[in-house]
Amino acid sequence: MMGMSPSFASTQAWTISRRSLAERWQLFAGAFLSVTLGVALVQSSLLLLISAALYEPPAGLSAADRMEFTDSTAAVVSMLGIILGIATFLAGFIISSTFAFTVAQRRRDLALLRLVGAGRGQVRRLLLGEAVLLGTLGAAVGVPLGLVVMAAQTWLLRRMGFVPDGFRGEWREWILAGSFGTGIVLAVAGAMVAARRAARVRPLEALRETGDAARVMTVTRWLAGLLFFGGALALIIVAPHGGPDGGAAMAMNVPLPAAIAAAALSPLVVPLLGCLLPTGSGVAGVLARANLWDARRRSASVAAPLIVLVALVVGTAGAGQTFTTSGIDELRRQTHADLVVGTTGPPATAIAAVPGVATASTESSLPVTYTTGHGEDAETETGSALVIDPAAYALAHSAGSSLTSLSGHAVAAGPSGDVPAHGTVKIELPGLKLGSLPIVAAAPTTMSGGADLLLPPGVAPASLLESAPTRSFVTLRPGADLPTTRAALAKIGTVSTTDAWLTADAKARTKTSDKIMLVIMGLGGLYALIGVVNSIVIGAAARRREFAEARITGLTRTQVVRSALLESAAVTVAGLVLGAVAAAGAYWAAVASTAAVTGHGTLSVPWPLVGAVCLVALLVTGATSLITSWSATRRPPITLLAARE
């Protein structure tokens, strides 16, 4: 019935596309920016991940250093994997919500097109054509920008000691296809749902903003909201059954689906916050309250990236901190010792011979490469082994009778839980192949991990132990004088109280994951914040007319700006609250998991971080709203209203 050649239709769509690009540049600049930054972040993370995975240790390293190197490379690869995952998630979320918002903001233009005879297909093709164009342009700038981001990320990794100085992210030819693909696919996917909807509503309703066109809680929104809510709930329910590592991984992943669910369902919640605006705030307050309700779509678009920001930063960091604290608490309960003596190699003088000492468990740490399983299932990993005296170890670490059978040419599975409790394991110490040894015992698994293997005395040669970092957990005789004993021990090595040593040890071990959090939060948080600014700018671009109408009605410019500020504050608070709800989901999973693993539920909220995030969010949204509404009201209102369309 339309009887038109597809090529002509698309030429037509391009003509209109180019025109609307020129007219509504803020919308398109926002969409373009979201693609550019998203592509840059994903490309840089992907290139670094591949470079790290293929990185060869420099020649001339000692056997022990080589093992350490392999161990730390594995950590960097898994960290970059997490960063890539988060970058992709953020890019998908922010690009698609920005595109959906720009389409929604132009509903009136699209309705006019439909009224003069544009078909549904034409509107869809127009919008998708724009998405392809913006995705391509965004990627074209995003690719070179990605190289800058990669240089910054490499510098960060090097500064923090994750990678050696020689490490460089390397360019790959195919990344061009990957980056352009990412930009175009994410842009089109974001525009798709909005375009279908814009094409489907009846033109008259779109023009008047009534009926279907005014509905914000669409079926897609409900579906996405409930689906991801279910996903987050499932993670929360399963996390306590995942053991120490699985539980932590699941709890730290709760913020992602929870944030999507909260963002999708936010139009239900955001206007409610309008009711909390102080009623005494005069006409600006009345206007802000009315706008919160009337412009639920716009409010939701500003709140969405905020929700992701809070959920990701506060939720993930809090869950991580909870697991660390829980690990320290557990060790505190398990460790029975008064002092810890640190030495290099086993102490020269017997600690047990020092007057006042009842028992001492001396433990030397060695890097180890171990292989479990046979044939196809064989798995080789790098980790650490502790050379111990089983009886003393069991006393100092509440291991009970679990290690009584550890002696001779055999090993025990360590508290990390990474080695099975039965079977055999092939072990290689620095410069020494030990061959296959039976696993005859297993120490209880702990939250905070620790050594992978426990070796009885005599398995590792003394020459290797000489340089091994060693600690001895010391218990004093009843009635022994602490200062005297301490002074005597200080001649053997560095002495600290057990509490101080456990805290320092946990800090040293979580330093890596703390730095990982910093890298992820720094980049992800910045991108999400840019998403917030983007939404406010896009929203304000379409509001010049609305502001002008308010001023013609008698509001002063200051009142209009104040009302815009009030509205943005309410939306920001709503975003923070919803983000906090999503983060609370992660906390819930973390508490349940720590309770299941250690018997004691722990919760540790990073309050300074929470405060900082809230402050930054309020400042950024406030400043952006102030600037955009001030500049949108610069011209006298009549010049806008006289030019009716």
Partner 1 sequence: MTRADAAVTLRGVSRVYGRGAAAVRAVDDVTIEFPRGGWTAVMGPSGSGKSTLLHCAAGLERVDAGQVLLGGTDLTAARDRELTALRRTRIGFVFQSFNLIGSLTAAQNVALPLRLAGRRPRGSEVRDTLAAVGLADRVRHRPRELSGGQQQRVAIARAMVTRPDVLFADEPTGALDSSAAHVVLDLMRQMADAGQAIVMVTHDPVAAARADAVIFLRDGRVVDRLAGAGPREVADRLAGWEARR
Closest approach of partner 1 to the CB of residue 101, in Å: 20
Closest approach of partner 1 to the CB of residue 12, in Å: 5
* Residue 23 near partner 1 by CB under 8 A: yes
* Residue 342 near partner 1 by CB under 8 A: no
Q: How far apart (Å, rounded) are the C-alpha atoms in residues 337 and 332?
A: 10
* Residue 122 near partner 1 by CB under 8 A: yes
* Residue 59 near partner 1 by CB under 8 A: no
Closest approach of partner 1 to the CB of residue 645, in Å: 4
Closest approach of partner 1 to the CB of residue 156, in Å: 44
Restricted to residues 1-20, the positions that interact with partner 1 (CB under 8 A) are: 1-5, 8-9, 12, 15, 19-20
Residue recorded with tokens 């066109």: 213
**Per rule CB under 8 A, count of chain residues that contact partner 1:** 32
Q: CA of 455: how far to CAs of 13, 441, 459, 563, in Å?
A: 73, 10, 7, 70
* Residue 224 near partner 1 by CB under 8 A: no
* Residue 545 near partner 1 by CB under 8 A: no
Closest approach of partner 1 to the CB of residue 23, in Å: 4
SS3 111: helix
Of these, 46, 76, 91, 113, which contacts partner 1 (CB under 8 A)? Answer: 113
Of these, 59, 60, 117, 479, which contacts partner 1 (CB under 8 A)? Answer: 117
Closest approach of partner 1 to the CB of residue 200, in Å: 9
Q: CA of 393: how far to CAs of 336, 417, 478, in Å?
A: 10, 17, 20
Closest approach of partner 1 to the CB of residue 641, in Å: 11
Nearer to partner 1, 376 or 645 (CB): 645
Give kind and range of the element (H or E) at residue 328.
Answer: helix 316-334
CA angle, 212 then 534 then 36, to 5°: 110
SS3 199: helix
Closest approach of partner 1 to the CB of residue 542, in Å: 13
Number of Cα atoms under 13 Å in the Cβ half of residue 523 = 31
**Residue 593 buriedness (CB in 10 A; 0-12 / 13-18 / 19+):** buried
Restricted to residues 184-213, the positions that interact with partner 1 (CB under 8 A) are: 202-204, 207
Which two tokens mark 176?
Answer: 């061009």
* Residue 118 near partner 1 by CB under 8 A: yes
Long-range contacts of 112-121 (CB under 8 A, 24+ apart): 112/203, 112/207, 113/16, 114/203, 114/206, 115/203, 115/204, 115/207, 119/2, 120/199, 120/200, 121/2, 121/9, 121/199
Task: Choose the binding region for partner 1 from 38-46, 231-239, 551-559, 637-645 (rule: CB under 8 A).
Answer: 637-645
Nearer to partner 1, 5 or 401 (CB): 5
Nearer to partner 1, 118 or 300 (CB): 118
Nearer to partner 1, 118 or 550 (CB): 118
Nearer to partner 1, 2 or 59 (CB): 2
Q: How far apart (Å, rounded) are the C-alpha atoms in residues 73 and 427?
A: 20
* Residue 508 near partner 1 by CB under 8 A: no
Q: How far apart (Å, rounded) are the C-alpha atoms in residues 538 and 536?
A: 5
Could you tell me the maximum CA-CA distance found in the chain, to the nearest angstrom? Answer: 102
* Residue 607 CB contacts under 8 Å (≥ 6 apart), including other chains: none
Residue type, 206: A
Closest approach of partner 1 to the CB of residue 116, in Å: 5
Q: How far apart (Å, rounded) are the C-alpha atoms in residues 298 and 154?
A: 37
Nearer to partner 1, 202 or 509 (CB): 202
Binding site for partner 1 (CB under 8 A): 1-5, 8-9, 12, 15, 19-20, 22-23, 109, 112-120, 122, 202-204, 207, 642-645
